[in-house]
Structure 1
């Protein structure tokens, strides 16, 4: 079955056909590094990491690039307020970004280019736009002439006339038309700057990504992705710049994740509901945050609250419990029960998972399939079946789906099964030697770690509470 994805540009689901068989070029807009990332930044990091890993699972080689904006107005302002140099502030928050996304299970991109490292390419790109008549200089600034690009507005499905009605020229701007956007900014007194044919300055926001895509991935790529808030004007302007210069489509597919709200309200500093990932992973296990994010389809709006996060934690723990119970049953000596139909049933869950994920990377439905698989495994355990082949098939399939989504299907930071078995053997020996105080000590210690022992005629059984 072919993968289908929702292409913002086409405003419909389309079959995914990459430019080269078996290979995918993918660019995701990264953060502006002037602070720790907030929960809204975490969503695209997680969902496009999930999409990248699913494409790899389906056999594609994915060349994945995500940038850093390490110089812009916000960074300069933050550096001034903190009395810090722009490069050192940006470096500090790039390191913090990597710490946060690693905790959330996000794999680093193949390359994380920075604006400050791409300056010659950005300047060259702007020069070429001027030469082709798509950009103009105005007293040290350079602007893109939007009306010169006839398809402007196609990503956001807006006409130039409609856009022009709501646009205006701000005080101090030197552009010809309200819709024109800046490619190069003349440096203000004391600001960090670079030499250019138009004098000292720095690039505008939109040109960065166009230059990086061209340099590292080529004129046309398979997937360009980012948050819904970037569709206009950022991605619209990227298309205008890149397609004006290269005279070919910038990306075959444009993917955008939905917004996040905090307790059903828009996240903003003024409302006091601005949630930083750096803070929240001090209170909640990062794997729970990832699981919570993937429980919703990536294009759907997502409401974030402590109650919903707690619910996600409980759901993840139910999966962990089933996985541990399967491992425990596998350690028992008995091996009996019907095999074929159960193995076929488990295989069907895997096929259903792939079908759901092939439909626009629907992790919400994929996780629903995982829960159905867990319910089936619990039924198998409750009916006291003990085929090692079936138990292993259940366990392997739960682990496989967990690996694809990169969610923790096995409990972390808990006592290992091998250690539990060792302590149980020690307890049995202690009881044989009538050292009941040691036997009770082992039982109580395990209980404190969530391990319940049950002495039966067949021996001592254990389970995680």
Structure 2
């Protein structure tokens, strides 16, 4: 298996640091607002990666932080007249609900930054003692000039390292130095500590959470590509300065930027789409399928039409499974069925080959559709199917779908005698209508049945019916 390592910009063989154990960390949300579809895209990607690694036999411990100490939270809480941590808990709850809806369930532990203040203080004291940090009247800062590898992860040149998310603090020695501890006046949100009253900076929170649970080195560090600088660059500097161990993470895996109409989401532009908003319009499994249809590290420009196409594509996979499930069985394996059974093995091989190639989910999905096309050529004319082949196809689609977090819904039950009897009556009546040239009424019956998931097909041998999962 190979992965694209952001730190080297090369495809590398995946070999964990400790046998089959994989320590994996992904940056979680800052809980001051509802999570948006960019978050959803990122967390679906890492959930799929974790699921696949576990499928391959790795023991994965997947850790995610919750940033509940941040200026955005404090500002929003002030606007709403509430406590910052109460506000953070409210949006944390909504975040967990969004994850559950999207079947993102591979994360072992969520760690809140606010619950690691003593550990954060201890790490900052270590940096001060080692000469990697300095104190000013406004706080304690990391001295980036003392860390020789600062900029290596993001590939930033020295002149580019002054770019920050916030305005430079005039008390800092240089613009690229970043806050470890922010001094605050009593009465403001913060903690009384040996460092004085205040609160931690963003970058150090994540590092301390990782060191507390996973140790000085991890296998995979993930997050959206826009976090690589300054956030992930700062994490590397803090962790390696504290522990003296390099590299902090063996593999850096970043997801591509999600845009809407070609631009980054922004409330001021009116293109900010929350997970909750989109899930009122589409099924969560459709949204997951849509994200998996693009490679995790490719940029993705969100498009409603493409989302509708994803809806139809997912429905076509379910309908194929339903058609196979509905077929009666026979025991003898024909030569055509034997050939198709071999193609099930080919499907599995090509699916895993795609996933082993840097978790290439669009290619993995393509293998399913290729098989469906080939299987339909063989099976569509056949009223029954070999028992072994039927089980193999359904079980394989379930198994591979579980890795991707799709195709796990119950299929419609077969063998419903009452439904068969009712449909035989309806088909007979409709055929009478067609013979009497009452085509408008016959078409109304067909359209009404389609809306409830039953398709009528008029053939030279008579009218046939089948159940489908509608994409409408």
TM-score (norm 2): 0.88
**Contact kept in structure 1, 2:140 and 2:179, CA below 8 Å:** yes
State the aligned residue count. 449
Q: How far apart are residue 305 of structure 1 and its match?
A: 1.6
Matched, 1:183 2:180: yes
Matched, 1:241 2:238: yes
In the alignment, the residues of structure 2 paired with residue 273 and residue 38 of structure 1 have an alpha-carbon distance, to the nearest angstrom, of: 11
Taking the TM superposition and a 5 Å limit, the aligned residue runs for 1:11-30 are 11-30=9-28
Taking the TM superposition and a 5 Å limit, the aligned residue runs for 1:314-353 are 314-329=312-327, 331-332=328-329, 337-338=334-335, 339-353=337-351
In the alignment, the residues of structure 2 paired with residue 102 and residue 169 of structure 1 have an alpha-carbon distance, to the nearest angstrom, of: 33
| CA pair 85-28 structure 1, distance change in 2 beyond 3 A | same
In the alignment, the residues of structure 2 paired with residue 406 and residue 335 of structure 1 have an alpha-carbon distance, to the nearest angstrom, of: 34
| CA pair 264-430 structure 1, distance change in 2 beyond 3 A | closer
In the alignment, the residues of structure 1 paired with residue 423 and residue 42 of structure 2 have an alpha-carbon distance, to the nearest angstrom, of: 52
In the alignment, the residues of structure 2 paired with residue 255 and residue 345 of structure 1 have an alpha-carbon distance, to the nearest angstrom, of: 33
1:449 to 449, 452, 455: 452
2:83 to 79, 82, 85: 85
Q: How far apart are residue 266 of structure 1 and its match?
A: 2.3
1:39 to 24, 37, 40: 37
Deviation by residue 1:186-235 (Cα, 9 ceiling, x = unmatched): 12464211112221111000001110110000000100000001100000
In the alignment, the residues of structure 1 paired with residue 166 and residue 13 of structure 2 have an alpha-carbon distance, to the nearest angstrom, of: 41
Structure 1 match to 2:407: 408
In the alignment, the residues of structure 2 paired with residue 333 and residue 170 of structure 1 have an alpha-carbon distance, to the nearest angstrom, of: 73
**Contact kept in structure 2, 1:22 and 1:59, CA below 8 Å:** yes
In the alignment, the residues of structure 2 paired with residue 167 and residue 233 of structure 1 have an alpha-carbon distance, to the nearest angstrom, of: 7
Structure 1 match to 2:189: 192
Q: How far apart are residue 346 of structure 1 and its match?
A: 1.1
| CA pair 202-326 structure 1, distance change in 2 beyond 3 A | same
Q: How far apart are residue 304 of structure 1 and its match?
A: 0.6
2:225 to 221, 225, 228: 228
In the alignment, the residues of structure 1 paired with residue 447 and residue 274 of structure 2 have an alpha-carbon distance, to the nearest angstrom, of: 39
Structure 2 match to 1:104: 102
Secondary structure in 2 aligned to 1:32? coil
Structure 1 match to 2:395: 396
Secondary structure in 2 aligned to 1:386? strand
**Contact kept in structure 2, 1:25 and 1:63, CA below 8 Å:** yes
Taking the TM superposition and a 5 Å limit, the aligned residue runs for 1:267-278 are 267-278=265-276
In the alignment, the residues of structure 2 paired with residue 326 and residue 47 of structure 1 have an alpha-carbon distance, to the nearest angstrom, of: 30
Deviation by residue 1:79-129 (Cα, 9 ceiling, x = unmatched): 111112111111111110011111112115211000111111111111111
**Contact kept in structure 1, 2:220 and 2:251, CA below 8 Å:** yes
In the alignment, the residues of structure 1 paired with residue 381 and residue 142 of structure 2 have an alpha-carbon distance, to the nearest angstrom, of: 69
| CA pair 381-341 structure 1, distance change in 2 beyond 3 A | closer
| CA pair 395-278 structure 1, distance change in 2 beyond 3 A | same
Structure 1 match to 2:466: 462
In the alignment, the residues of structure 1 paired with residue 466 and residue 166 of structure 2 have an alpha-carbon distance, to the nearest angstrom, of: 72
Q: How far apart are residue 310 of structure 1 and its match?
A: 0.5
Matched, 1:217 2:220: no
In the alignment, the residues of structure 2 paired with residue 454 and residue 290 of structure 1 have an alpha-carbon distance, to the nearest angstrom, of: 32
| CA pair 257-353 structure 1, distance change in 2 beyond 3 A | same
**Contact kept in structure 2, 1:142 and 1:185, CA below 8 Å:** yes
Secondary structure in 1 aligned to 2:7? coil
In the alignment, the residues of structure 2 paired with residue 113 and residue 270 of structure 1 have an alpha-carbon distance, to the nearest angstrom, of: 31
Q: How far apart are residue 282 of structure 1 and its match?
A: 0.7
Structure 2 match to 1:56: 54
Structure 1 match to 2:171: 174
**Contact kept in structure 2, 1:24 and 1:61, CA below 8 Å:** yes
Structure 2 match to 1:66: 64
In the alignment, the residues of structure 2 paired with residue 402 and residue 160 of structure 1 have an alpha-carbon distance, to the nearest angstrom, of: 46
| CA pair 449-122 structure 1, distance change in 2 beyond 3 A | same
In the alignment, the residues of structure 1 paired with residue 216 and residue 12 of structure 2 have an alpha-carbon distance, to the nearest angstrom, of: 21
1:125 to 110, 123, 126: 123
In the alignment, the residues of structure 2 paired with residue 195 and residue 22 of structure 1 have an alpha-carbon distance, to the nearest angstrom, of: 42
Structure 2 match to 1:434: none
Secondary structure in 2 aligned to 1:342? helix
Deviation by residue 1:299-323 (Cα, 9 ceiling, x = unmatched): 1000112111101101111111101
**Contact kept in structure 2, 1:140 and 1:199, CA below 8 Å:** no
Deviation by residue 1:404-455 (Cα, 9 ceiling, x = unmatched): 1111365x6x8x315x714325649999xxxxxxxxxx99996652124789
In the alignment, the residues of structure 1 paired with residue 44 and residue 129 of structure 2 have an alpha-carbon distance, to the nearest angstrom, of: 40
| CA pair 277-256 structure 1, distance change in 2 beyond 3 A | same
| CA pair 292-460 structure 1, distance change in 2 beyond 3 A | closer
**Contact kept in structure 1, 2:20 and 2:57, CA below 8 Å:** yes
Secondary structure in 2 aligned to 1:156? coil
User: Please, which runs of 5 or more residues in structure 2 have no aligned partner?
Assistant: 427-444
Structure 1 match to 2:442: none
**Contact kept in structure 1, 2:40 and 2:275, CA below 8 Å:** yes
Secondary structure in 2 aligned to 1:182? strand
Taking the TM superposition and a 5 Å limit, the aligned residue runs for 1:349-364 are 349-364=347-362
TM-score (norm 1): 0.90
